[in-house]
Amino acid sequence: MLETVDAESDTPLHHVAREEHMGVIRLLLAFGASSILTNSYGKTPNLDDTLYPYAAGIQEAVTQNVKDYMVEKLGIEKSKITELGNLLYKNYGTTMAGLRAIGYDFDYDEYHSFVHGRLPYENLKPDPVLRSLLLGLPLRKIIFTNADKVHAVKALSRLGLEDCFEGIICFETLNPTHRNTVSDHEDDSIVFVGSTAAATTNTNNNNIGTQIFDIIGHFAQTNPESAILPKTPIVCKPYESAIERALEFTNINPQKTLFFEDSVRNIQAGKRVGLHTVLVGSSHRVKGADFALESIHNIKEAIPELWEADKKSEVGYSGKVAVETSVTA
């Protein structure tokens, strides 16, 4: 079910639905961060745990693969992995962003290949019900995820949703200076927002001679807040700058946009940049969430106003938007 802010009829959803050109921007994969935006100019959905459930085992496998990478590739002591991973995720949004912040250097493509290359994608099954809902939604739809594009394509393809979105905002979109050359897994059926940006290779030096910031020791201090944590070079959710950049890429007005997300932290960040927010996966509306939706499959019964957009006018794509054409099968 959907829990609204109040019983008033003039909710943010009604405000958005009244706009002439509806749209949605959102879809972040759940392997670290996902979200969906729905706006009079575009809609964005989140992939992981928003478009498919945690029970699929994808996120659990990602977590284990990240731990294995830290031990096998970065040489981190196995006994420190859990505490270190928790601190990095809590303070930097993703473990990957945290590892880069504290001094570990590694190739981004290699990291993604290791973490996502062994996932049980066979657990993801075609979802004809969700596919019908998305194709019938007269709004722009764009995936917004912290994950890399290869993972996004595989997950969407397994779900049978690869032609339901206008484009994808992924890791490579927000971190263009660290994109390697075009992957062999490039899928021409999906347009990647900002994918034409210049690319350079991030060379792995195996961290030889690199000084690593002791974040575990830092938080073991009496007053850890007295020292400033190192910054990460990675742009990702839940940083407001990541969401703002996604909005810029797609030329979307946050005040006319619904942001669907399974992460409370990402929801709150989206709220701070002016988005109308929908927490997916819970019927409990937390701080920062305008609405709470138990399942993405309940979207039509919970938010019927979104399907009324076609009664007002056709959805048009702005010439300033990075992705200008709908994805077709």
pLDDT tens profile 70-94 = 999 999 999 999 999 999 999 999 9
Phi and psi at residue 277, to the nearest 5°: -115, 145
Residue 328 domain-assigned (yes or no) = no
Domain count within the chain: 1
Highest mean pLDDT among 30-44, 105-119, 211-225: 105-119
pLDDT of residue 45: 55
Kindly tell me if the per-residue pLDDT of 67 is higher than 70.
yes
Residue 307 domain-assigned (yes or no) = yes
Cross-strand pairs, 278: 260, 291
**CATH number for the domain harbouring residue 151:** 3.40.50.1000
Residue 292 domain-assigned (yes or no) = yes
CA distance 216 to 223: 13
Least confidently predicted of 95-104, 150-159, 296-305: 296-305
Kindly tell me if the per-residue pLDDT of 24 is higher than 50.
no
CA distance 303 to 13: 8
Mean pLDDT of 263-292: 91
Least confidently predicted of 14-23, 133-142, 236-245: 14-23
Residue 325's pLDDT band, with cuts at 50, 70 and 90, is very low
CA distance 123 to 110: 24
Domain range enclosing 164? 2-311
pLDDT of residue 153: 92
Highest mean pLDDT among 47-51, 151-155, 250-254: 151-155
Residue 251 domain-assigned (yes or no) = yes
pLDDT tens profile 111-151 = 999 999 999 999 999 999 999 998 988 888 888 999 999 99
Mean pLDDT of 9-31: 37
**Tokens coding 289:** 């969430």
Please state the separation of Cα 164 from the chain's center in Å: 16
Residue 319's pLDDT band, with cuts at 50, 70 and 90, is very low
pLDDT tens profile 143-183 = 899 999 999 999 999 999 999 988 889 999 999 864 443 33
Number of Cβ within a 10 Å radius of residue 272 = 14
Per-residue three-class SS string for 112-179: HHHHHCCCCHHHCCCCHHHHHHHHHCCCCEEEEECCCHHHHHHHHHHHCCCCCCCEEECHHHHCHHHC
Mean pLDDT of 28-50: 45
Residue 324 domain-assigned (yes or no) = no
Residue 321 domain-assigned (yes or no) = no
On whether the CB atoms of residues 143 and 170 are closer than 8 A, the answer is yes
Residue 329 domain-assigned (yes or no) = no
Question: Among candidates 18, 29, 23, 16, which has minimal Cα distance to 43?
Answer: 23
pLDDT of residue 32: 30
Kindly tell me if the per-residue pLDDT of 15 is higher than 50.
no
Residue 325 domain-assigned (yes or no) = no
pLDDT of residue 301: 84
Residue 303's pLDDT band, with cuts at 50, 70 and 90, is confident
CA distance 5 to 7: 7
